[in-house]
Amino acid sequence: MSSKKARVALVSFFLSAYRLIKGNTLSVDKFEPSEKVESIVIFSTTALGDFMFNTPAILSIKSRFPNARLTLVSSNKNKNLVEGSPWFDRVIFWDQKVNTILKTVSLLKKDAPDISVMLHSKSPYDVVISTLLGSKYILKDAYNESDLAMRRFVTSLSDIKFDGHIIERKMSLIQSIGCDTKRIEMKIPFSFEAKTKKENTIVIGFQLGASRIQRQWPILRFQELAKLLIHSGRNIEIVLIGSPNEVELSKKFMEGMTEVESESITDCVGKVSLTELVRTISGFDLLVTGDTGPLHLAVALQIKTVSLFVTANPAHTGPLQDPHLHKVIHIGNHNDDLMTSAQPMSIIGAEDVMTAISEVIDEW
């Protein structure tokens, strides 16, 4: 038995024994619209893009239960984005490790949640926390076998085979507690002053990195695109964005630029906080990116994008709202050699992206 299966089996045994001793507080009945809900805990403890996908569901829950206390369990990665947000009465941070379960339960105990909603968090520990809190209703979005193994310990579990966008799947999950599922727009969870767009300049952002190298457009391709843009005869400013872990990518990118070309490039990689990144993107005319967090920030900000997909499916994780603002380049038919290469995204050429940019930007 693998360590993951063993962990799930051990947790399942614990949860079964705990509920046998304590009495099963988990409601398996249909949620009654008239039921009083005083406190809700929402788990979103993974990456930036995952949190953005969760924002329509969070807002729908908030709208459905306007008088309930709303607590967010977040990852530290998104701290700048959610701490102090008016959406939540309280935000706590959890590293998803087993040795911090009891500490997290202690922090959440005073919330006494009637409902726990796990939009994206680590199984089986999130279910353990919700059970120890005594949540009457436990809802979980399922991504993998570990999530599915928790089926008998939750009130509602999403369909892992759901053939639609991740946002729509999350909305289908919260439908069981009477939430509206029609509003699928992602939002930024805090107020800010948008950056003033430059006159007579087309500002194009490049998100250089991605969560996995397989979803990263090669730096060589970004360099080729930059040269096409800079020498297009238009007044172009290219702004590089990325996390501190992606600084080497920006250095490699700049090494391929001439001194004159570099004058049209602003390097922000690793130099801005998450909240500052939001404001930076708000000043773009367009963002070129793979399937990664800043794409979803740009979509929420209604900034035009050209997004690149090869190994991922844009029907599941691409732009869902404002389709007129976004151009998706998806190459789904490819050979096995390409798919097993280090960077399968290399199949998308700079000329293809240049054409897409000209189709999306009105001033082109």
> 289: part of which helix (H) or strand (E)?
strand 286-289
Least confident of 11-20, 95-104, 129-138, 231-240: 11-20
- Distance CA(226)–CA(340), nearest Å, equals 27
DSSP-derived 3-state class of residue 186? coil
Amino acid at 64: R
In a domain, 318, yes or no: yes
In a domain, 186, yes or no: no
* pLDDT band of 224, cuts 50, 70, 90: very high
Average pLDDT score over residue span 103-128: 94
Average pLDDT score over residue span 6-34: 82
Asked whether residue 19 falls in the same domain as residue 129, the answer is yes
In a domain, 184, yes or no: no
Asked whether residue 140 falls in the same domain as residue 228, the answer is no
Whether 179 and 61 have beta carbons less than 8 Å apart is answered as yes
In a domain, 193, yes or no: no
Asked whether residue 93 falls in the same domain as residue 147, the answer is yes
Asked whether residue 162 falls in the same domain as residue 86, the answer is yes
- DSSP conformation class of 124: T
In a domain, 181, yes or no: no
Asked whether residue 15 falls in the same domain as residue 161, the answer is yes
In a domain, 183, yes or no: no
Range picked from 185-199, 267-281, 338-352 for highest mean pLDDT: 267-281
CA angle 212, 213, 218 (to 5 degrees): 140
Asked whether residue 132 falls in the same domain as residue 269, the answer is no
Asked if residue 142 has pLDDT above 60, the reply is yes
- DSSP conformation class of 72: E
- Other CB atoms within a 10 A radius of the CB of residue 172 amount to 17
**What is the pLDDT, as a whole number, of residue 93?**
97
Average pLDDT score over residue span 227-252: 97
Angle between helices 219-230 and 350-360 (to 10 degrees): 50
- Distance CA(201)–CA(284), nearest Å, equals 10
- Distance CA(18)–CA(106), nearest Å, equals 17
For CA atoms 43, 47, 48, 54, give the dihedral sign. Answer: negative
Q: What is the pLDDT of residues 64-96, one digit of tens each?
A: 999 999 999 999 999 999 999 999 999 999 999
Higher pLDDT, 336 or 130: 130
Asked whether residue 163 falls in the same domain as residue 229, the answer is no
Asked whether residue 234 falls in the same domain as residue 277, the answer is yes
In a domain, 157, yes or no: yes
Average pLDDT, the chain: 93
Expressed as residue numbers, the domain containing 333 is 202-359
* Secondary structure tally for the chain: helices H, strands E: 15, 12
Asked whether residue 55 falls in the same domain as residue 10, the answer is yes
Asked if residue 341 has pLDDT above 90, the reply is no
| DSSP alpha helix (H) spans, the chain | 3-22, 48-64, 79-82, 101-108, 125-132, 145-148, 166-174, 219-230, 247-255, 259-262, 274-282, 293-300, 314-317, 336-339, 350-360
Asked whether residue 232 falls in the same domain as residue 129, the answer is no
- Cβ neighbors of 287 (< 8 A, separation 6 or more) are 204, 205, 206, 207, 281, 294, 295, 298, 303, 304, 305, 306
The pTM of the full predicted model, rounded to 2 decimals, is: 0.94
In a domain, 192, yes or no: no
Asked whether residue 267 falls in the same domain as residue 161, the answer is no
Average pLDDT score over residue span 141-157: 90
Asked whether residue 246 falls in the same domain as residue 302, the answer is yes
**What is the pLDDT, as a whole number, of residue 333?**
64
Structural tokens at position 253: 């990118």
Asked if residue 244 has pLDDT above 90, the reply is yes
DSSP-derived 3-state class of residue 205? strand
What is the number of structural domains in the chain? 2
**What is the pLDDT, as a whole number, of residue 3?**
80
**What is the pLDDT, as a whole number, of residue 21?**
86
- Please report, for the domain that includes residue 91, its CATH number: 3.40.50.2000
